[in-house]
Structure 1
Amino acid sequence: MVTSRAEVLTQTQSHAQSELGDGASSAESVVGPEQVDEFQIMSKALGTRSRWQKGLGALPRLKSVGGPRAASTGHVAETIATLKQQLAEKDAEHARRIDETQRQMAEKEVENQRRLEETQRQLNEQNRMLQTLIAKLGIEMPPPPPPEM
């Protein structure tokens, strides 16, 4: 007896159903298996406290997890070189300012010394003129008091 391929397939299905011996399985084979959506599968696998259950979706990939990424070593080396250059420039500027301040202080000291010498010279000149006038007028002056110590 020659049986068609479709008949063999239906015979195999009925044989499998009879081995299960369940009446509900025969109804299931007619209607088809119960449809399970992705939400039910994920909830079953991950549990009710997962991000999936809360509607947040799956966890983001590691690359996009918060915080800045580590800088590449080339970028870090470039940044370090730039910072060293800036520091050297600031140190040079600071040294230049110190030198300028010291130069200005030295100039002021020289100017103050010159003024002091000029004032001392003027006082000595006035003292000589006074002594000359006293001598010409013949005024007797008491000796100056001893310097206080």
Structure 2
Amino acid sequence: MPPNSQSPHKIDRTDRRILDALQRDGSLNNQQLAEAVDLSPSPCLRRVRALEAAGIIRQRVTVLDHKKLGLSLTAIILIGMDRHTPERFEAFEQQVAQYPEVQECYLITGQDADYMLKVVVPDMDHYHHFLLNQITRIPGVSGVHSSFVLRRVIDSTALPLKYLESF
């Protein structure tokens, strides 16, 4: 087990099949899921509930097509902070959590930045407004570098379950 990792929940082959099926289609009802993983409905439901109770299945969501909804600009923003204190980072994280444009926020290392955000907006005008009126007004933001996504080559929320075989 890698250092500093949490003790993983024991996952067997059937659990992996359940997780794989749900990652591909979270709308499966229990009957459909049970058929997909070759279980009867009752044991399948017990396993899903155990995976939920363990926090492995956090939630089921619907993935929307951003372009069909008019959200055609995706930006990756690298943000530098003026001070590296827990209070400064906590305040920043609480503020960006309030912005629906922010799909992902990571505290990072190895760059000339402290945070990386993935932001989705309708167009450059909206991005410009978001950047100037929201991001740069957060106390502590000292630098911003924006990159724009030209094409989504891989766009997946699925985790690589092949690594679970060692548990």
Using structure 1 for the length normalisation, give the TM-score. 0.12
Query: More strand by proportion, 1 or 2?
Result: 2
| Higher RCO (CA < 8 A, seq sep 6+) | 2
TM-score, length of structure 2 as denominator length: 0.11
Larger % of helix: which?
1
The structure having more radius of gyration, on CA atoms, is 1
